[in-house]
Amino acid sequence: MSDKAKYIFVTGGVVSALGKGIASASIGLLLQRRGLKVRNCKLDPYLNVDPGTMNPFQHGEVFVLDDGSETDLDLGHYERFLDQSLTKDNNVTTGQVYHTIITRERRGDYLGATVQVIPHVTEEIKNRIKKLERNPDPVDVIIAEIGGTVGDIESLPFLEAIRQMGQEEGPENTMFIHVTLVPHIQTAGEFKTKPTQHSVRALREIGIQPNMLLCRCSRPISDALRQKISLFCSVPADAVINAEDVSTIYEVPLRFHAQQTDDLICRRFGWQLPAPELSEWTPMVEKINSPRNHIKIGICGKYVNLKDAYKSIIEAFIHAGVFSDARVSLIWVSSEDLKHSGADKLLHDIDGLLIPGGFGERGVEGKIEAIRYVRENNIPFLGICLGMQCAVIEFARNVCKLADAHSFEFYRDLKHPVIHLMADQEGVTELGGTMRLGAYPCVLTEGSKSHEAYGQTEISERHRHRYELNNAYRDMLLENGLLLSGVSPDKRLVEIVEIPSHSWFVAAQFHPELKSRPTRPHPLFRDFVKAAVQYQKEAKGDARKASAAVDLTDAPG
């Protein structure tokens, strides 16, 4: 390819949550599968430096990268679709941009100039996008997604920066893709194009003419309607693409490809490339859409009403389901309801239980009770981060008989703090970016379920926590049958615990969900789902009781 990268800018209009991240990742995948080196990035217009200190209700999941940066959940989509590991440079926020500029200003670097949004903020944004061209290695194309919606006050500097890039780099090197909504009005029985027209007009007012429209709609819109949108928005009709709701987000690239979306991009940039190589992707999507098995996994956490808080976990189950040819329905159980209604009432129908990560004491007793239930009933269990800490507390209380075992996170004056503050966290007062974050190595015990899953003894996994298993209780836990199957190379930190006598009971201090990929399911999720399918066949037979719980695994992303 040429030694200069091309830029594709993805903006969104009308409403948020249209799936710009999935659209950007899908285009990235198609170009990558045609042989290009692709780098996706997300530009977030909020003032936080990163989403690490934001409430999941505000922002959804915090996606942690190998380098320890806490980033937007769209980076999870990029990593999963393109099977790449990204770095902190792939997520730019207004907070970071202003932090850099204000630090520079205080140093006196601006030599007396008035520091302004244009040119200083826009220059910094452009530099951060351009830096990705060669960092860490050269790429052919950068796909930059702008968070928020056109018309937001806070997005303006980003839109101005990409407008300038369009001008400076020229049309042969840049492309603007706008993701918009074409709603179907039930009472009128028709699709409406006006919101799209308004959104494109707003974009043009700030000097950006989109080259392609991805029209989010409940079902494909007609050619006549695409013509109409084309006419009003000055976008060629073949570049008005249907982006209809699909049963799985992994189908989006296939739908785009069927409409020659990637051909249009290649033509614009003068690339003559073979068709995308999708020989693994297409059967994977077919498997997601028509699985032979169907299992139910209970998931017990604080944010059960906010599925975005558990995005990577939901995706990791889809990947693991492909491996076991299983549809994994997630039964969302509020840990607080569980405490009141009892574990048996809410969990009797599940084939496995997952306790995800979390912060704060609310709901912890319910999680501990759920773990007791699955441990005693030999139901497969996977614990993640806080889920592992709860598993240790449960084991200490009910097996080791330390009735008041708990975590130092919740109570400072404890008789048995089986989970305590990590040594290097003592004295930490700032909350942003100060947890144990990012990839750390871990050594597995041969013959353990974890070792069997990974097929190797040295692994690397991503962390985000302040507390850990208290080594003072290691011997007692071991003597009572808990295997400490994963430890840090210096053996000072326990990273995985499991119960060898149980059908499948594994809990990890790290977050396996962050490294699961659609065509490479994470080993722990893969074996957990396999164990749940097995449990269903052996322990429960095939008679499945209908559950009133909502199945959200297949809601469009």
CA dist 413 to 292, 368, 416, 419, Å? 51, 20, 9, 13
Residue 349 CB partners (closer than 8 Å, separation 6+): 296, 331, 544, 545, 547
| Cα–Cα dist 221/191, whole Å | 7
Cα 462 to the center of its chain, rounded Å: 13
Chain residue whose CB lies nearest ligand GLN = 357
Residue 232 binds ligand GLN (CB under 6 A): no
**Contact indicator for 521, 323 with CB cutoff of 8 Å:** yes
Six-digit token string for 514: 């962050």
Residue 51 binds ligand GLN (CB under 6 A): no
Which of 406, 423, 424 is CA-nearest to residue 415?
406
**Contact indicator for 225, 190 with CB cutoff of 8 Å:** no
Residue 385 binds ligand GLN (CB under 6 A): yes
DSSP SS3 for 145 = strand
Site residues for ligand GLN, 450-479, by CB under 6 A, read 464-467
Residue 302 binds ligand GLN (CB under 6 A): no
Q: In this complex, which beta carbon is closest to ligand GLN, that of residue 467 or of residue 504? A: 467
Q: In this complex, which beta carbon is closest to ligand GLN, that of residue 298 or of residue 358? A: 358
Q: In this complex, which beta carbon is closest to ligand GLN, that of residue 307 or of residue 464? A: 464
What residues pair up with 294 in beta bridges, in sequence order? Answer: 327
Residue 493 binds ligand GLN (CB under 6 A): no
**Contact indicator for 529, 536 with CB cutoff of 8 Å:** no
Residue 357 CB partners (closer than 8 Å, separation 6+): 384, 385, 386, 387, 464, 465, 511
| Cα–Cα dist 408/26, whole Å | 43
| Cα–Cα dist 298/356, whole Å | 11
Six-digit token string for 368: 């501990």
DSSP SS3 for 550 = coil
DSSP one-letter code for 293: E
Question: x/- site string to ligand GLN, residues 169 to 198, per CB under 6 A?
Answer: ------------------------------
Residue 254 binds ligand GLN (CB under 6 A): no
Is 511 an active-site residue? yes
| Cα–Cα dist 25/285, whole Å | 16
Residue 367 binds ligand GLN (CB under 6 A): no
| Cα–Cα dist 322/48, whole Å | 37
Question: x/- site string to ligand GLN, residues 404 to 433, per CB under 6 A?
Answer: -----x------------------------
- Least separation in angstroms between CB 466 and ligand GLN: 4
How big is the site for ligand GLN, counted in residues (CB under 6 A)? 10
Residue 346 binds ligand GLN (CB under 6 A): no
Give me the catalytic one of 319, 406, 511, 522.
511
Give me the catalytic one of 215, 385, 390, 400.
385
Answer for which of 27, 150, 200, 386 binds ligand GLN (CB under 6 A) is: 386
DSSP one-letter code for 457: S
Q: In this complex, which beta carbon is closest to ligand GLN, that of residue 358 or of residue 380? A: 358
- Least separation in angstroms between CB 387 and ligand GLN: 7
Residue 254: CB atoms within 10 Å: 18
Is 41 an active-site residue? no
**Contact indicator for 371, 380 with CB cutoff of 8 Å:** no
Answer for which of 12, 253, 358, 380 binds ligand GLN (CB under 6 A) is: 358
Looking at 90-98, 284-292, 334-342, 355-363, which segment touches ligand GLN (CB under 6 A)? 355-363
- Least separation in angstroms between CB 441 and ligand GLN: 19
Residue 253 binds ligand GLN (CB under 6 A): no
Q: In this complex, which beta carbon is closest to ligand GLN, that of residue 394 or of residue 409? A: 409
Residue 440 binds ligand GLN (CB under 6 A): no
Burial class (CB in 10 A: 0-12, 13-18, 19+), 194: exposed
Q: In this complex, which beta carbon is closest to ligand GLN, that of residue 278 or of residue 306? A: 306
Q: In this complex, which beta carbon is closest to ligand GLN, that of residue 35 or of residue 360? A: 360
Residue 359 binds ligand GLN (CB under 6 A): yes
CA dist 472 to 120, 179, 418, Å? 54, 55, 8
Is 300 an active-site residue? no
- Least separation in angstroms between CB 465 and ligand GLN: 3
> Which residues of the chain form contacts with ligand GLN (CB under 6 A)?
357-359, 385-386, 409, 464-467
**Which residue numbers are catalytic?**
385, 511, 513
